[in-house]
Homo-oligomer: A and B are copies of this chain.
Amino acid sequence: MSRAWILERRPQGMPQAGDFALKPWPLAPIEDGQIRVRNLWLSVDPYMRGRMNDVKSYAAPYALGEPMHGGAIGEVVESRAEGFAPGDLVQHMDGWRDEAVVAAAAAQKLPALGVPPQAFLGQFGMPGLTAYAGLLHVAEAKPGETVFVSAAAGAVGSTVVQIAKAKGMAVIGSAGGAEKCAWVKSLGADHVIDYKAGPVLRALHEAAPDGIDVYFDNVGADQLDAALATARLGARFAICGMIDIYNHAEPTQLRYIARVIAARIRITGFLVTDHFGRLPDFYRDMAGMAAAGQLQREETVVDGLEAMPDAFLGLFSGANTGKMLVRL
């Protein structure tokens, strides 16, 4: 009997164990155009927190009493769809469960890029495309510019660091704790800021005495404010996420917001879904960087479907270095 994580009630603030329940979830027999997939890897991502609220946003809210959704990599075990055969590895969005019946149109066979399957949930998947499109297209970062990226030890941030270095930019990354900072430095970052060790603003002033040209925001709050304070003339901010505020009702406090005027800062929010058309470029460019040895990949792996809520909550306490994954 297949099982799935059900949203039992909508979390208030930080989600609690009782907000979710792992329950048997029987699957219907597959119909024409469908495949049955045994999931191997499940993704947990910060944006899922928003889907747990009953608020219309860019992604539909999860329904109460129904399985949650998210990125998944699995093996086709039964197919009534042309082009899919048992044994094929596919990517789809019916995560948070061990098995799924999905429309073939909603599944993609993994491209042959010489990386392991779970990489398509991270550096070669949505987090990677988010990094790529946000840095190069939304923020229009150019060689020679100085890029600040927050949550630089995360799935998106660590890819931003590496793409930026591969493209000839100076990079400052922030992360929490000495171990993560050391890893971000090992990725090639010119400076690393440990946000747990002191005020980010002071550290950013020291790391970039002439200011920053680009800020890739995964965090919001104090780190956004520090970026506003240190932005150079014509700086561009790509706002990808604000993990610091997803579980909080308090307003964000910005001391330096008026600098958008003097420094003519451009702040742009974006979603990876607007950039799916860049996937071919992204795969080609990333495969080239990987072949040139410019990409390292780190995963924090949690084993077993039972542990999935812990993996999800770990995103908000900084439990992951690189992509957080659940292995079934």
Contact = CB atoms under 8 A, between A and B. Distances in A.
Contacts of A260: 239, 267-269
A254 interface: yes
Nearest to A246: B258
B269 A264 contact: yes
Given A267-B266, A267-B267, A252 B257 contact: yes
A268 B254 CA distance: 16
A232 to B, nearest CB: 13
A220 B257 contact: yes
B58 A258 contact: no
A283 B220 CA distance: 41
B261 A240 contact: yes
A242 interface: yes
What's the interface size class on A, roughly? 20 to 34
Count of chain copies = 2
B267 A242 contact: no
A271 B274 CA distance: 30
A278 interface: no
A77 interface: no
A277 to B, nearest CB: 15
A252 B57 CA distance: 24
B258 A242 contact: yes
Contacts of A225: 251
Interface string A202-229: 0000000000000000001000110000
Contacts of A93: none
B271 A264 contact: yes
Max chain B Cβ within 10 angstroms of own Cβ: one of A240, A265, A267? A267
Interface of A: 50, 57-58, 220, 224-225, 239-242, 245-246, 251-255, 257-271, 274
14 contacts: A50-B262, A58-B261, A225-B251, A241-B261, A245-B258, A251-B253, A252-B258, A253-B253, A261-B269, A264-B274, A265-B269, A266-B266, A266-B267, A266-B268
